[in-house]
Amino acid sequence: MPVMSSLSLYAGPKALKKIQAEGLSSKQFKVMAGASGGPKWFVLYGLDRYLFGEFFADREDTLATLGSSAGAWRLSCLGTSDPVGAIDRLAKLYSTEHYSAKPTPKEITDKARDMLHKVLGPDGGRELVENKIIKQHIITDRCRGLLNVNSKIFLGTALALAAASNLINRRLLSLYFERVVFNNHEHPCELAGLKDIRTVDAKLSEENVYDVLIASGSIPLVLEGERNIAGASAGLYLDGGITDYHLDVPFHGSDGLVLYPHFYPRVIPGWFDKHLLWRKVDKRYYDNVLLVVPSRGFVDSLPYKKIPDRKDFEKLEYSQRVGYWQTVLKESQRLADDFAAMVDSGRGLENIKLFDPGQS
């Protein structure tokens, strides 16, 4: 009886053709992507450890990373001198974080900032800023109009208006947000000038790196966000997942492939699109993307038959939540083992499916 794989792989036409002809190797990939999703990323922890510590270890040519929110936090670890140690700390601290009975945005923001400092370590911020091999791209959203007013009422009203506008046309989000991509390299960000949502380039520095990471993960009304980030235009910066939940952008690095470890087959453009089943990413952007996701069978084998999510904070007692999340972190090693087997032997590559933006 064949052993069930923990992974399902989906590839765009260009990526599928190349992998079927050549197998899998780290040199094929020029970009690694990371989605928003809070604790959903625990299911990818083992795979991240393998990618950071073995697959992309001792890399000599550049690798661009592109992420928002938790995806940006994961990928920031890759830019440090000890990426496996950093991702281990992120998994441990994030999965065991404890809040008061009714935490305020300030409490959650302060704990997130403290966590990131511990994750990256005393020199990690400088290391990822100065890294010439790992080209970081961290997506944040700078607020416009009512969203910039320091008031929960105005913020809630403006978010409702943004959601309603998004129903009509995703491009209308430009009335409320400006996509700001912070990067650590000299030339302008390849995404600057996008027309779907106004997009501008900004530079990472030792002075702003933690503010940028906090901003990228600042879920509206849950965290405070960051105001007036050094080296960028004035304003309130919130979660990059608002506009780029799962990344509906033309991935740069067209001369190579994009590795995208993800939570499930469906790729959702923006945060307001989660329940809009007709809203799909542009298929052309995924031509050279390999999507690596947990298989349905693997997810069914987990406690509660699901991957973690933010609702666990509300539905589970602290000890239940931590126990559940620790189990997922441990089981995620199976994804790493199966992906490594595909790299080493090619086993399972024949099962890669063609990516379909409408799949679920």
pLDDT tens across 1-16, in order?
244 689 999 999 999 9
Measured between alpha carbons, how far is 3 from 315 in angstroms, rounded to an integer?
Answer: 33
Q: For residue 308, which amino acid is it?
A: P
Work out the widest C-alpha separation in the chain, in whole angstroms: 61
User: By C-alpha distance, which of 159, 166, 156, 164 is closest to 197?
Assistant: 166
Residue 201: phi, psi to the nearest 5? Answer: -100, 140
Tell whether 360 is covered by a domain: no
Query: Averaged over 184-191, what is the pLDDT?
Result: 85
Q: What is the mean pLDDT of the chain?
A: 94
How do beta strands 353-354 and 7-11 pair? parallel
Tell whether 2 is covered by a domain: no
Measured between alpha carbons, how far is 260 from 266 in angstroms, rounded to an integer?
Answer: 12
Going by pLDDT thresholds of 50, 70 and 90, the confidence category of residue 21 is very high
Residue 105 domain boundaries: 7-354
Measured between alpha carbons, how far is 86 from 49 in angstroms, rounded to an integer?
Answer: 10
Query: Averaged over 191-209, what is the pLDDT?
Result: 92
Distances (CA, A) of 308 to 302, 321, 325: 10, 9, 7
3-state DSSP call for residue 98?
A: coil
Tell whether 214 is covered by a domain: yes
* Residue 309 φ/ψ region, left for φ over 0, alpha for ψ in the -120 to 50 degree band, beta for the rest: beta
Query: Cβ–Cβ contacts within 10 Å for residue 180, how many?
Result: 27
pLDDT of amino acid 6: 95
Say what the pTM is. 0.95
pLDDT of amino acid 86: 98
Sign of the CA dihedral running 96, 100, 208, 231: positive
Tell whether 359 is covered by a domain: no
pLDDT of amino acid 2: 40
pLDDT of amino acid 1: 28
CATH of the domain at 222: 3.40.1090
* Number of compact structural domains in the chain: 1
Tell whether 290 is covered by a domain: yes
Close Cβ partners of 284 (under 8 Å, ≥ 6 residues apart)? 250
Tell whether 1 is covered by a domain: no
User: By C-alpha distance, which of 180, 190, 222, 197 is closest to 72?
Assistant: 180
User: By C-alpha distance, which of 280, 290, 293 is closest to 354?
Assistant: 290
Tell whether 199 is covered by a domain: yes
Q: Per-residue pLDDT tens for 265-298? A: 999 999 999 999 999 999 999 999 999 999 999 9
Query: Averaged over 157-167, what is the pLDDT?
Result: 95
What would the two tokens of residue 49 be? 């450890």
Tell whether 321 is covered by a domain: yes
Query: Averaged over 181-199, what is the pLDDT?
Result: 88
